[in-house]
Amino acid sequence: MDYKEINPQIEYFINRRSTPNWIIEDATTNFIDLSFFTSGKAVYKVNDKYVEVNQGDLICIPQDSRRSATTDANNPIESFAINFQLYDIKGNHVELPFPLITHIGFSEELLSLYNELTLVWLKKEPGFEIKARALLLLILHQYFKRFYYKINVQNIDSRIQKTIRYILNNLHHPIKVKELANIAGVTTAYFGTLFKKCTGSSVKEYINKMKISNAENILLSGEFTVMDAAYKCGFEDIFYFSKLFKKIKGYPPSKILLDKKMNELTGPHQNISSNLEQE
């Protein structure tokens, strides 16, 4: 299973701040219990197995598990606990491919998502279920990156996050390193070092990748020429744009339009990605 079309249905969510005598009574769950611990200590018993959880830990208890828990009276737990059902597109129950317990540590992005989910859940405005489900999917995506896709996740500096948002909102303009450094509030030299540390790419490489990916997306719509896509992504030199596109994507931008035209004539027997895999 690739988990791309999972559908979570939240039954209960709480930003739990436990009292010293907090417990979960021994019972079998009819939901997935996904709890992220922001402080304190507790002991869970899951299917006759005892596990200790501490600050920064994530526990994922599968549906139909026997579960009980107690907190350390001298150090009560605080956590974000979500009880939910998980289905695939056909309505079948799905199990998460996560370990029972894992140490996540501090994550600014995760805490931001949990805090927003708390606000949405407590306000319960009309349609809140949709937004709550969307936020849970974003939270699950964070965990999938760590446990399933094995992506090296690090907490990106908030200054770099701010400049990345600026880059994505201004792909149609030329973007200079100096203006990004000013947005981050650091020197140009330090910004370049910090940016590469957080993203693994130089500023120029990152901007070019985002611009070319944006151009690819524009061309896939079939509504624009290669020249249109170049201009819409801030390139005035069409030849440089085409050369850079091929360097990053492995094929010229004209191939997208050619493949699209061929599909219209012969039918969508193969998409662009499958064509490229055969080359």
177 exposed, middle or buried (CB, 10 Å; 0-12, 13-18, 19+)? middle
Which tens digit of pLDDT belongs to each residue from 221-247? Answer: 888 999 999 999 999 999 999 999 999
Domain boundary among 147, 169, 188: 147
Regarding whether 123 and 171 lie in a shared domain, the answer is no
- Domain assignment present for residue 153? The answer is no
277 vs 231, residue with greater confidence: 231
Spell out the residues 6+ positions from residue 149 whose beta carbon is closer than 8 angstroms to its own: none
Domain boundary residue among 94, 123, 147? 147
Average pLDDT over residues 187-203: 92
CATH code at position 242: 1.10.10.60
Cα distances (angstroms) measured from residue 234 to each of 11, 153, 222, 241, 245:
47, 30, 19, 10, 13
- My answer on whether 143 and 171 are in the same domain is no
pLDDT above 60 (res 271): no
Q: How far is it, in rounded angstroms, from Cα 43 to Cα 50?
A: 7
Q: Are residues 172 and 237 in the same domain?
A: yes
pLDDT at 274: 44
Predicted pLDDT at 51: 97
Q: Give the pLDDT mean for 22-42.
A: 96
Range of the domain at 221: 158-266
The Cα angle at residue 114 between residues 100 and 135, in degrees rounded to 5: 95
Question: Are 121 and 132 spatial neighbours (Cβ–Cβ below 8 Å)?
Answer: yes
Closest CA to 257 of 221, 207, 232: 221
Which of 127, 147, 167 is the endpoint of a domain? 147
Kindly tell me if the per-residue pLDDT of 277 is higher than 80.
no
* pLDDT (0 to 100) of residue 269: 47
Q: What share of the chain has pLDDT > 70, as a percent?
A: 94
pTM of the entire predicted model = 0.72
**Which domain CATH number covers 83?**
2.60.120.280
Helix, strand, or coil here: 49? Answer: strand
Q: How far apart are CA 137 and CA 8, in angstroms?
A: 7
Residue 118 has pLDDT above 60, yes or no: yes
- The answer on pLDDT for 193 being more than 80 is yes
Number of domains, the chain: 2
Tokens of 114: 């949990």
Confidence of residue 153 (pLDDT cuts 50, 70, 90): low
Residue 36 has pLDDT above 80, yes or no: yes
Q: What is the C-alpha separation between 170 and 202, in angstroms, rounded?
A: 18
Give Dmax over CA atoms of the chain in angstroms: 72
216 inside domain: yes
What are the tens digits of pLDDT across the range 83-106? 999 999 999 999 999 999 999 988
Can you tell me the mean pLDDT for 172-191?
94
Question: Can you tell me the mean pLDDT for 7-19?
Answer: 95
Q: Report the side by side order of strands in the sheet with 23-28.
A: 23-28, 66-71, 41-46, 49-54
